[in-house]
Structure 1
């Protein structure tokens, strides 16, 4: 009996030690994640912070990077949490998935003045240069669908600027991301046009750990996230993550 008690105590000490390991949290500024007065916030960040605090993981730091850099860190270093990352079959083994925070619908946009750009379907769209972020869901999706004229950027702001400067002809973005970038870059959104004929791409956006992160950390974080889901905390945050300008 004493041996069993010691075993339980030892396991508890090991778990506490694992959870004490500092976590590097990486993300990119977007309509979901904001930077105001030097503080990283937004509804998605709130969900992440509440989850980590509930899990007892208080030793963490959130860092903003261009998406390509954040993705590179999360796929190559231990003890990294990335958000928001699209969950796809190709990425399934690259991360340890914690929980779904939001869903996104991406539409193709062009400059309204470019009346010469008028694709009627995805086959038509392949002839145009398309701006995407390296290792973003849209990059992988379009590669999978045999798009070859992809122009890569490190992050959202750079990619958006390429459209405005006519260095690319199309970019896939959510409606709310377009509105966010127009406001951030002081650009008149009425000068952009969403191409309805091409439909949309849809992705489920998660928080996820790097694959080399300890399983005890991952499981404790998953449990915390599920508790917040059941309490309605996540769904309340999701109300501000809808794809609306």
Structure 2
């Protein structure tokens, strides 16, 4: 009878509440664009993803409850204090048994970064160890761990207190290289007004996924609940990522930089450079060929849209995030070879009918200087309009003029050059900074390799 009474009493008592994620302590660090402080507010894709996990699991926490610590201290805390979650943490074989893991959040590439003027070339870590290179590292960071695993001599490794101090060591030539996440390093350069073109990644030493690392004694049910929430958000397509989801690259008929082939594919010098950079950076983009006015309008108005090959002008500068340069852009005025047109400056075109196309920067510059512009919907139309006598002259890029004249089998006369510019990929500001930074770094690497090959060919000749 007594056992039955005890059993009945237990049924009447409230069941203990199951543990929730609010029992965990979440720690992060300065590792943009994944997690970082903007003013007093924590930002980044890892922060936003964690807040979505809190919402999905009805956890009464927000980004304001996340601790912000130096990496080495956060890492030590996650190793020793039960109920601790550290992010964003690279999941490696060495760390596998030290934590439980929830993720992945994103993919991070750790590289050895040098000043471009150092002319450092490395094919392997053996090259690093056979030289006398000094490398900045951060204690317990994945870059430092990878170099320790490779048995790089400790006297080559120079400890930095933070990523900012490591960047300053590299900038001031106190070290030759910096072992760190490529996205983060180039982000920091931009944040500190350092030209990212002055630096380059010379060797990739790690490519791994980033995770939330939980103390190894954490309740497995909490780990499973957190992972299930992340998986559900990802399956529903409700998660962003560090590099953007569906970025679209709009372009136009502007040979030789970008054009559509007979087979219907988008090709050209700028297109090939962008495709190679995307592949190198493990990024994706959808390419579309549109009339120029629509292509640039979409990039200015639609999220996750970019446009190329775009002249970077003061008027366009504030409306886009810029990636490049993709190529050189020399603007000139042309006429038919036998037209008898004489002009040495834009002022001398003011009495003529001058062709350009909608939203073209060369035509806009000429128009601002008083040249009457007859606007076409596409650049290729201006060749036909010259032949038909509908325009007297044409302002465009020199390479484009030569390409289209050859295609139409006509001879042009270059009257004068009036501007030098660079061509870029212009992106809507919504395109994630990590995407832009990684793509820019890849273009810089390809440009540097192309320059080295060119110098080699000149020497060989």
TM-score by length of structure 1 reads 0.84
Structure 1, unmatched stretches of 5+, are none
What CA distance in whole angstroms lies between the structure 1 residues aligned with 2:439 and 2:24? 32
The answer to whether residue 80 in structure 2 is matched with residue 76 in structure 1 is yes
Higher relative contact order (CA closer than 8 Å, sequence separation 6+)? 1
Equivalent residue in structure 1 for 2:33, among 31, 34, 39: 31
Equivalent residue in structure 2 for 1:210, among 211, 215, 218: 215
Q: Secondary structure at the match of 2:95?
A: helix
After superposition, what is the alpha-carbon deviation per residue over 1:27-50, rounded to whole angstroms, capped at 9, x for unaligned? 112222232231101222100111
Distance 1:212 1:40, change over 3 A: same
Structure 2, unmatched stretches of 5+, are 1-6, 245-431, 441-461
Contact kept, 8 Å, 2:89 with 2:211, in 1: the verdict is yes
Q: 1:132 deviation in Å?
A: 1.6
2:128 paired residue number = 125
Pairs within 5 Å for 1:139-158: 139-148=144-153, 149-158=156-165
1:97 paired residue number = 101
The answer to whether residue 364 in structure 2 is matched with residue 169 in structure 1 is no
1:45 paired residue number = 47
Q: Secondary structure at the match of 1:173?
A: strand
After superposition, what is the alpha-carbon deviation per residue over 1:147-195, rounded to whole angstroms, capped at 9, x for unaligned? 1222222432222222112222111334432321112222222221222
Q: How many residues align?
A: 234
What CA distance in whole angstroms lies between the structure 1 residues aligned with 2:235 and 2:104? 13
Q: Secondary structure at the match of 1:226?
A: helix
Contact kept, 8 Å, 2:114 with 2:201, in 1: the verdict is yes
Q: 1:110 deviation in Å?
A: 0.9
Contact kept, 8 Å, 2:108 with 2:183, in 1: the verdict is no
1:190 paired residue number = 197
Larger Rg: 1 or 2?
A: 2
Q: 1:102 deviation in Å?
A: 0.4
Q: 1:101 deviation in Å?
A: 0.3
Q: 1:21 deviation in Å?
A: 4.8
Query: Which structure shows the higher helix fraction?
Result: 1
Q: Secondary structure at the match of 1:244?
A: helix
Distance 1:154 1:58, change over 3 A: farther
TM-score by length of structure 2 reads 0.47
The answer to whether residue 69 in structure 2 is matched with residue 65 in structure 1 is yes
Equivalent residue in structure 2 for 1:244, among 410, 414, 439: 439
Moved more, 84-93 or 59-68: 59-68
Distance 1:154 1:55, change over 3 A: farther
- Root mean square deviation of aligned Cα: 2.5
